[in-house]
Amino acid sequence: MPAPPPPPRGPPGAPRRLPPPPGGAVRIAIVLDPLEQIKTYKDSTYAMMVAAHARGHEIHVCEQGELSLVGGQALAVIRRLHLTDVTGKLHDWYRLDPAVESPLSAFDAVLNRKDPPFDMEYIYSTYLLEHAQRSGARVFNDPRAVRDHNEKYSIAQFAEFTAPTIVTRDPARLRAFAQEHGEAVFKLLDGMGGASIFRARADDPNLSVIIETLNLFGARSVMAQRYLPRISEGDKRVLLIGGQAVPYCLARIPKQGEARGNLAAGGTGVARPLAPEDLRIAQALAPVLQARGLLLVGLDVIGDCLTEVNVTSPTCFQEITQQTGFDVAGMFIDALERAVGGLACLPASH
């Protein structure tokens, strides 16, 4: 169902204010990718919408390109969304009200669920969302914290939980790292979905080519990590919500002959209770990241090693819920309600 065209623009500085929601409801604005691209059977943002809808909360949506700074205000061309299907099975699953241009500060919560790539347009949108915060908007995750936590590099803040890792533009240092550890994984700092991740042994005849391809002969920074054989057990996504760990992770098992567990790279997701090693990392990081304004975080763990800290639009809600019965989206809405001041309509049961 394509979105209707944006409304005619009024004079700068005169956005339309939305009427107040019913008593107890939370008005939620979600910045996301085009609705027609959402795969409702597995999308975590859709699961959030369903959980919010069940509480009687209002859902409003816009795309990144519909954010503006006009007359000193952070505005959005935004539409109220009504769910017409909560099963995730129908193609026509929503209805949209006509678009209005509204200050982001008119909403109780603003969720930034725009998927990567984390490019300059993404950076610019965090500036705008940060401006909205200064006008009173409550944005999750905190836009400055999102900028400050490169999803790969930020593991350096928690080195006690990581495998040997370097980040460098020096190709000789990358080559020496592989030789020191015998086998290494190389990745770009802005990669996503398992793209541009290479595994190489020290004696691999393609080692220099891999480094040159990623590193561009010293022009681009590359992360190298010691290869972790326990990837065969799965690359575990551990979710932190409101400073607490979801009690189940999704182990993404690589397909045969593959070193990447990412679902986008063909991995298979298997939900499991958190192992003691997962819980140790989660309990250490959860309060730190929550204090920085990160309501929702997806940790990637291989064996007992932290490999990434995902803060842009962490996912895996539906896979965990479908396999375990634990209501991950309900836990998220609980945390969101607490964060905006306890405006909950109904308690969630997980």
Residues involved in catalysis: 152, 187, 237, 252, 260, 300, 308, 310
For 174, list phi and psi in degrees, rounded to 5: -65, -40
Whether 263 and 41 have beta carbons less than 8 Å apart is answered as no
CA distance 86 to 270: 24
| Beta-carbon count within 10 A of 235 CB | 28
For 240, list phi and psi in degrees, rounded to 5: -110, 125
By residue count, the chain amounts to 350
**CA-based angle 120:36:149, to the nearest 5?**
30
CA distance 199 to 164: 15
Task: State the angle between helix axes of 328-339 and 44-54 in degrees (0 to 180), rounded to the nearest 10.
Answer: 70
DSSP for 18-83, please give it.
PPPPSTT--EEEEEES-GGG--TTT-HHHHHHHHHHHTT-EEEEEEGGGEEEETTEEEEEEEEEEE
Distance in Å from the first CA to the final CA of the chain: 31
Q: Which residues contact 118 (CB under 8 A, 6 or more apart)?
A: 150, 151, 190, 192, 312
CA distance 99 to 5: 8
